[in-house]
Structure 1
Amino acid sequence: MIRHLVLFKLNEGVRRDDPRVVEGVRAFERLGDVIDELRFWECAWNITDRPIAYDFAINSAVDDTDALRHYLEHPAHQEGVALWREFATWVMADYEI
Structure 2
Amino acid sequence: MIRHLVLFKLNDGVERDDPRVVEGEKAFRALDGRIEEIRFWELGWNLSDRPIAYDFAINSGFEDAESLRRYVEHPEHQAGVALWREFATWVIADYTY
Output the TM-score relative to the length of structure 2: 0.99
SS at match of 2:69: helix
**Unaligned segments of structure 2, at least 5 residues:** none
1:93 paired with 2:93, answer: yes
Q: Which runs of 4+ in 1 moved over 3 A?
A: none
Q: Distance in 1 between matches of 2:49 and 2:35?
A: 32
Task: Give the number of aligned pairs.
Answer: 97
User: How big is each residue's C-alpha offset from its partner over 1:18-73, in whole Å with a ceiling of 9 and x where there is no partner?
Assistant: 00000000000011121111000011000111100000000000000110000000
Where do 1:11-90 residues align within 5 Å? 11-90=11-90
Higher helix share: 1
SS at match of 1:39: strand
Q: Distance in 2 between matches of 1:52 and 1:13?
A: 17
Identity of aligned residues (%): 71
**Unaligned segments of structure 1, at least 5 residues:** none
State the AA in 2 paired with 1:13. G
Q: Distance in 2 between matches of 1:13 and 1:80?
A: 21
Output the TM-score relative to the length of structure 1: 0.99
CA RMSD of aligned residues (A): 0.4
